[in-house]
Structure 1
C-alpha cells in the first residue's frame, strides 16, 4: 500500500497534495515551489538562480524527512515559465546539486504559468536503497 507523507517542516502546500508518496521503495515527490518553508508568505526569491536553489533545497528537505537525500533521486521533471530566457542559468544552478557522474534522468518543459507566480517547479522520483545493499 502506498504511504502518503505531509511534513510539518516541509513547505506549505499550495494545493491539495502530499509532499511525497512512497510505494515499494519508490518515493515520488510533489513538485516544489521556490517558497521558504520558514516564511511561506514571504516574497519569492528574485531570479531563476535563487528560485532554483530554493526549489532544490525544498526537495532536499522533503527527502531528508524521508531519510533520503539527493543521491537517491533517479528522475526529475523541471518546469520553467521563461524557458528560452532562463534555461542556461537554470542548468548552471541545477547541476551544482548532483555530481557529474550521478545526474538523474531529467525532462525540462516550458510552461505558460506556475502556482504562486514561480519561475520554476521541480518534482522528482527517488529510490530507497535495497536493504543490505
Structure 2
C-alpha cells in the first residue's frame, strides 16, 4: 500500500487513543505507529499491569495488535522509541524484556528516553516506524 497520500489507520482491537491521534499513519511505504501505553484492554480505564517487565510486555502486545491491523509484524519495524518515567530503576529490566522480541542481529534502531511523566501514569510508552515490503 505504498502511497504518497497518507492513510490513517484506526484499528479495532487496539487500545482506545488517550488523545486525538490515529493508531498508525502510512505514507511512502513507511508506517508510523503511535506510541502505545500498557493498557490491558482496549478501554482507557482497563488499567495497567504491575511493574516494568509486565508493562513492557503489554505495550509490545498492543503495538503488535496495531501492526497486525496494518498487515505487518515486528519483523517490519526499523525504528523504535522507548519512553521511561523512571529511567534509572527500569532501564535494565526493560531492556531484558524488550530484547526478547527480536533476534540478535535483526533489532531495529532505537532511542530510549527518560521522561517526567506519561499519560495515565504509565511507566513506559513505545512508538515504532515500520516499512511495508515492496509489493505488499
Q: Which TM-score tier does this pair reach, normalised by the shorter chain?
A: over 0.9
**Large movers: runs of 4+ above 4 Å:** none
Q: How far has the Cα of 1:37 moved from its partner?
A: 3.0
- Residue from 85, 90, 93 that aligns with 2:89: 85
- Residue from 110, 114, 126 that aligns with 2:114: 110
Partner of 2:16: 12
Q: How does 1:47-126 map to 2 (within 5 A)?
A: 47-126=51-130
SS at match of 1:50: helix
Q: Which has the higher helix share?
A: 1
Q: How far has the Cα of 1:40 moved from its partner?
A: 4.0
SS at match of 2:105: helix
Q: How far has the Cα of 1:42 moved from its partner?
A: 2.5
Q: Tell me the matched-pair count.
A: 132
> TM-score, with normalisation over the residues of structure 1?
0.95
Instruction: Tell me if the contact between 2:36 and 2:127 (Cα under 8 Å) persists in the aligned partners.
Output: yes
> TM-score, with normalisation over the residues of structure 2?
0.93
Q: Which runs of no fewer than 5 residues in structure 1 stay unpaired?
A: none
Instruction: Tell me if the contact between 2:35 and 2:127 (Cα under 8 Å) persists in the aligned partners.
Output: yes
